[in-house]
């Protein structure tokens, strides 16, 4: 007898088993890793389908963590940073363990309180080639690194550029006591600090996490 191909239809929502949380297409979700002791994967649900045997699958667009990308994690990558990849596939809905939220970097830095389920994304990532979009981002400080929201920076009162205390050979407590702070360039010192400019993500791959 010939096998009958399962008939699938789209669903408007799915209730996550065990926690009774409802998710819909467009929501961001946490998915169990095959290795039980690792952190969950993050993806955005694009479609929910059920077949005639009541098997529910979800069509996902995956987010990659920096350590999963070509080049790995760098100093400017925050702990909650994700890259929106071009990797799509179907997964069994039973792998979903909860909802999360992926913010823009600007919205993330404006959060009054960052919860465990809050992440941010500023790059799209081509998984096969390692290409990032946008290719250039704003950089700061003497080190010319993009913003890492986990690292404190102080702003020069004059030029409005931002600097890491460790690049100025200061402790965090010393930096917090500066009022106002003036960079060496604006103070007219010989050791000039270059103003903010842009650098490509490819150039940033030369920086190692310390």
Residues 120 and 142 reside in one and the same domain: no
Residues 122 and 148 reside in one and the same domain: no
Distances (CA, A) of 158 to 2, 79, 117, 138: 77, 31, 37, 19
- Give pLDDT, residue 186: 82
The reply to whether 1 falls in a domain is no
- Give pLDDT, residue 81: 98
Residues 64 and 129 reside in one and the same domain: yes
* DSSP codes joined into one string, 120-149: EEEEEEETTTTEEESSEEE-BTTTTB---T
Residues 119 and 174 reside in one and the same domain: no
Residues 103 and 186 reside in one and the same domain: no
- Give pLDDT, residue 4: 62
- Give pLDDT, residue 206: 47
Residues 86 and 16 reside in one and the same domain: yes
- Give pLDDT, residue 5: 65
The reply to whether 196 falls in a domain is yes
Cα angle 168, 173, 174; round to 5: 45
The residue among 54, 40, 42 whose CA lies nearest residue 6 is 54
Domain harbouring 87, CATH code: 2.30.30.490
Which structural domain range is residue 203 located in?
137-210
Buried b (16+ CB within 10 A) or exposed e, 170-194: beeeebeeeeebebebbeeeeeebe
Residues 124 and 71 reside in one and the same domain: yes
- Strand 28-31 vs strand 96-104: parallel, antiparallel, or unpaired? antiparallel
- What secondary structure letter does DSSP report for 39? P
- Among residues 133, 162, 193, the one where a domain terminates is 133
pTM for the whole structure: 0.81
Low-confidence ranges of the chain (pLDDT < 70): 1-6, 36-37, 188-210
- Among residues 72, 102, 133, the one where a domain terminates is 133
Residues 127 and 24 reside in one and the same domain: yes
12, with CB counted inside 10 A (0-12, 13-18, 19+), is exposed
- Give pLDDT, residue 119: 98
Residues 206 and 108: their CA atoms lie apart, in Å, by 26
Residues 82 and 32 reside in one and the same domain: yes
- Give pLDDT, residue 23: 97
The reply to whether 97 falls in a domain is yes
Residues 199 and 115 reside in one and the same domain: no
- Give pLDDT, residue 6: 67
């Amino acid at each position: 007898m010939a096998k009958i191909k399962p008939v699938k239809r789209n669903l408007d929502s799915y209730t996550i088993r065990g926690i009774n949380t409802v998710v819909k297409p467009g929501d961001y979700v946490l998915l169990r890793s095959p290795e039980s002791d690792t952190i969950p994967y993050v993806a955005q649900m694009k479609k929910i389908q059920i077949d005639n045997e009541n098997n529910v699958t979800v069509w996902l667009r995956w987010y990659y963590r920096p350590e999963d990308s070509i080049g790995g994690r760098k100093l400017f990558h925050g702990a909650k940073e994700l890259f929106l990849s071009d990797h799509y596939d179907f997964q069994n809905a039973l792998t979903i363990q909860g909802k999360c939220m992926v913010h823009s970097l600007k919205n993330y830095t404006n959060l009054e309180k960052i919860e465990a389920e809050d992440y941010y994304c500023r790059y799209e990532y081509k998984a096969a080639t390692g290409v990032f979009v946008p290719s250039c981002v704003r950089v700061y400080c003497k080190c010319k690194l993009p913003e890492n929201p986990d690292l404190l920076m102080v702003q020069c009162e004059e030029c409005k550029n931002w600097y890491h205390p460790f690049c100025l050979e200061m402790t965090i407590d010393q930096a917090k006591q500066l009022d106002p702070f003036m960079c060496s360039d604006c103070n007219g010192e010989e050791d000039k600090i270059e103003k903010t400019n842009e650098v490509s993500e490819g150039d940033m791959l030369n920086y190692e996490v310390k």
